[in-house]
Amino acid sequence: MTQGGWISTLKEEGAVRPRRTLAEEAADNLREFILLGKLEPSTSIPERELAEALGISRTPLREALRLLEIEGLVEYSATRRPRVADPSLQELTQYISVLGALEALAGETACVEATDAEIAEIQKLGHDMAEGSSELTALQFFQLDMRFHSSIVEASRNEPLIETHRQYNARLWRARFLSSQQVDRRDNTLSQHSDITAALIARDAKATRRALRDHLKSTISNITRIHEARDAAQTED
């Protein structure tokens, strides 16, 4: 070793990042397609065609599909034909239960682990949403909402928790996006967010947990409302 441990510094900075494989990139691309709604639920995913479209061979694409299967964004038919996942209302409800438990844990942990700066950042996101409530588009409001929640989870500094939360969030992305179209729910969202923020600032673990779980409970009813509306519309056809 020559001057001071600058090499280990480099390592910690993440400058030495793992090489990315085509499979991971493909998974990122596909995930984005699915989350942005460019691919409808139940759309079938022919491996050859998609591989060609992405300019890669089937081998890495298949690995990507496997990753997305575990994330819950892709599912396989009984004869193993991959398609975009289309979770039932029951599954969505189950996802939210788990998501609620994860966020509640994250909130509790954040009360202990988070820096003041991190809490301030969360508070700021809450403010931005409140300020812009009347101007923001559905998508913008939704994205801020997602970041608000993710920031809380990240403040827990629990890497596996963050990752698992990310996965459940992805599974719920579409349903939550659709339900975020209900502009009349914004006030409710905002008031619950300020409850959460207040509890975090007070570093009151119990209150934070309670506020987060209450919030997720109204998410369930929002999603249920939308889902039932869509089902009704479909039946009419």
Which residues here bind DNA, judged by CB under 7 A?
Answer: 19, 21-23, 44-49, 56-60, 62-63, 76-77, 79-82
Shortest separation between residue 107's beta carbon and a second copy, angstroms: 11
Residue 161 touches which of DNA, a second copy, none (CB < 5 to 8 A by kind)?
Answer: a second copy
Residue 186 touches which of a second copy, DNA, none (CB < 5 to 8 A by kind)?
Answer: none
Shortest separation between residue 98's beta carbon and a second copy, angstroms: 5
Q: What is the 3-state secondary structure (H, E, C) of 186-226?
A: HHHHHHHHHHHHHHHHCCCHHHHHHHHHHHHHHHHHHHHHH
Residue 102 touches which of a second copy, DNA, none (CB < 5 to 8 A by kind)?
Answer: a second copy
Q: Between residues 11 and 124, which has the closer beta carbon with respect to a second copy?
A: 11
Q: Sign of the C-alpha dihedral, residues 63, 64, 70, 74?
A: negative
Contact assessment for residue 26 and residue 64, using Cβ atoms and an 8 Å cutoff = yes
Residue 46 touches which of a second copy, DNA, none (CB < 5 to 8 A by kind)?
Answer: DNA
The interface with a second copy within residues 151-180 (CB under 8 A) comprises 158-161, 164, 168, 171
Shortest separation between residue 48's beta carbon and DNA, angstroms: 6
Between CA 67 and CA 27 the distance in angstroms is 7
Q: Is 67 in the site for a second copy (CB under 8 A)?
A: yes
Shortest separation between residue 154's beta carbon and a second copy, angstroms: 13
Between CA 49 and CA 119 the distance in angstroms is 46
Rg (CA), the chain: 20
Between CA 130 and CA 141 the distance in angstroms is 9
Contact assessment for residue 141 and residue 132, using Cβ atoms and an 8 Å cutoff = yes
Residues that bind a second copy (CB under 8 A): 16-19, 21, 23, 59, 62-63, 66-67, 70, 72, 76-80, 91, 94-95, 97-98, 100-102, 104-105, 109, 158-161, 164, 168, 171
